[in-house]
Amino acid sequence: MKKIPIGVVFGGRSVEHEVSVLTGLEAIEAMDPQLYEPVPVYITQDGRWFAGALLRNRAFYRTLNLAALDEVTLLPRPHMGGLYQLKQRQVLPIACFFLALHGSYGEDGPVQGLLELAQMPYTGCDLTASAITMDKWLTKSLLRGQGLPVLPDQRVDREQMRSQFAQQVDQFVAASQFPLIVKPVRLGSSVGVQRVENRDQLANALAATFQLDRHALIEPCIDPLLELNVSVLHHQNQATPSVVEIPIASKQTLTYEDKYLREGGAKVAHASLGMAGASRIIDPSDLDPALKQQAQSLALSAYQLLGCRGVVRCDFLYDLARSILYLNELNPIPGSMAYYLWSRSRPRLLYPQLIHHLIQEALSRHAEASALSRRIPSTLFKNI
């Protein structure tokens, strides 16, 4: 049987570039070699696309010898059937794109939009759901509107803060109670999340956030806090939640280092494993089953409300003092595709099976979308 060429896209113009490389390489290694021919597609930090067998080698990313690769591009021309090789001037055939991008210019809609224009199938959420879920403020506003529990927040615009900065910070201080959490509105992997205890820290945290994003989000800080994650997958025509996990934070909030870089302790995170290497307890036996069920049910509702597809991870904050569960954010392309949760869930899916499922779903969704009529009978130009 002829293998299906799958373009695994990773890297990208994002602060989560390196994590994306790990997710992409993991997916390539786990892809069923009987069915698929993975084609690594690496997007550099400055946005150039490259393909080539060398990209499978982790050592390559230390030196980044791009001259040894083929530069490719995706043209927004329907039915090209793959990537265009700039030097060879020919098409590198791709049947479906497996998106392993995290953060800006990849997880938030632009690549999905380009793939829509090129009429190429791709895994995960579509343009709209990707754009909404990567915007924490928009996601929370929509979920709040539908009655789902989310923390109150204030969105701060960099442009507006440029004048009378001190007075505006004072207003936030007057309207909130420390400690607070400050984070960029459109970044994932806990990049830029800061806990602040006083006015000066709040001012500095806002200024630091504006280096990463045009908008910052200020939220109350829950203390004591338990973080919970649940993944949701579109499986056999319906959304299905995974088991619950408790990620282990080294400080009060989970940081980028906890997720990808932490060393030591009983559970050793390994940088080369991506999100799968973080410290966590999967399906904790001592967690209240009602709380687990509530998290799963909320995750399911959020997934459906926002029109998600593929595999998504919903992150929750549980206020231990007041026993309230809040939906914190949705990750449209979770690190390591959250496979570590699906290997313990029902239906049990090992990583190759999960990948197979995501690709099949993408192909079938694409076929369905292609069948939609884009023309209506019209005589608009006939009488001109």
Partner 1 sequence: MLVDLALLSLAHGLFFWRRSLRYLRYLQQEDYDGARFGQFVLQRRAFDRRGSVISLIGALLVIASWWLSLIAAAALIVVALREEDPRRQGKLRLQLTGRAKRLWLTAWLLDALFWMSALFLLRHNVPLLWAIHALFCQLIPVWIGLAPPLLQTDEALRQRRLVREAQRKLSQVAPVIIGITGSYGKTSTKSLVGTFLERALGPTLWTEKGINTLMGLTREVRERLLPGHRYLVAEMAAYQAGSIARLCQLLPPTVGCITTVGSMHLNRFGSHEVIRRAKSELAQGVHPEGILICNGDDPGARSIAQEYPKRRTLLYGTDSDGLDCRVRCTGLVTSQQLPVSRYELTWQGRTLKGTTPLLGDLALRNAAGAFCLAAELGADPDYLVALLAAQQPVEQRLRPVVRGGVIYLMDGYNSNPTGFAAALELLAQLPVAKRYLMTPGMIELGPIQEQENTRMAQKAATLCDAIFFVGQTNRAAWGVADDRLIECRDREVAYKALEERLQPGDAVLIENDLPDLYEPLAPL
Residues that bind partner 1 (CB under 8 A): 158, 161-166, 169, 200, 203-204, 206-208, 210-211
DSSP 58-121: TTHHHH--GGGSEEEE--S-TT--EEEETTTTEEEE-SEEEE---STTTTSSHHHHHHHHTT--
Q: How many helices (H) and strands (E) are present in the chain, helices listed first?
A: 12, 16
d(CA 186, CA 176): 22
> C-beta of 208: minimal distance to partner 1 in Å?
4
- Which amino acid is it at 211? Q
Minimum CB separation of residue 251 from partner 1 in Å reads: 11
φ/ψ (deg, to 5) at 266: -70, -40
| Smallest distance, partner 1 to C-beta of residue 166, A | 4
CB of 203 to partner 1, least distance (A): 4
Asked if residue 352 lies in contact with residue 32, where contact means CB atoms within 8 angstroms, the answer is yes
Query: Nearest approach, Cβ of 371 to partner 1 (angstroms)?
Result: 42
Q: Kindly tell me which of 20 and 194 has the beta carbon lying closer to partner 1.
A: 194
Minimum CB separation of residue 259 from partner 1 in Å reads 17
Nearer to partner 1, 166 or 174 (CB): 166
Tokens 């490259």 belong to which residue? 50
Q: Which is nearer to partner 1, 148 or 173 (CB)?
A: 173
> Which residue lies nearer to partner 1 by CB, 186 or 366?
186
Q: What is the DSSP letter of 163?
A: S
Residue whose CB is less far from partner 1, 199 or 235: 199
Residue 104 has phi, psi (to 5 degrees) of: -65, 155
What span, in angstroms and rounded, lies between the C-alpha atoms of 119 and 374?
13
Kindly tell me which of 32 and 257 has the beta carbon lying closer to partner 1.
Answer: 257
Residue 167 CA to residue 91 CA, distance in Å, equals 57
Of 48 and 365, CB closest to partner 1: 48
Distance CA 282, CA 339 (A): 12
DSSP 186-201: T--TTTT-EEE-SHHH
Structure-derived torsion over alpha carbons of residues 199, 204, 278, 283, reported in degrees to the nearest 10: 30
Decide: 371 and 364 in contact? Cβ < 8 Å.
no
* Tokens at 339, concatenated: 């496979």
The residues near 199 (Cβ < 8 Å, ≥ 6 apart) are: 169, 170, 173
> What radius of gyration do the chain's Cα atoms show?
22
- Select 205 or 232, whichever has its Cβ closest to partner 1: 205
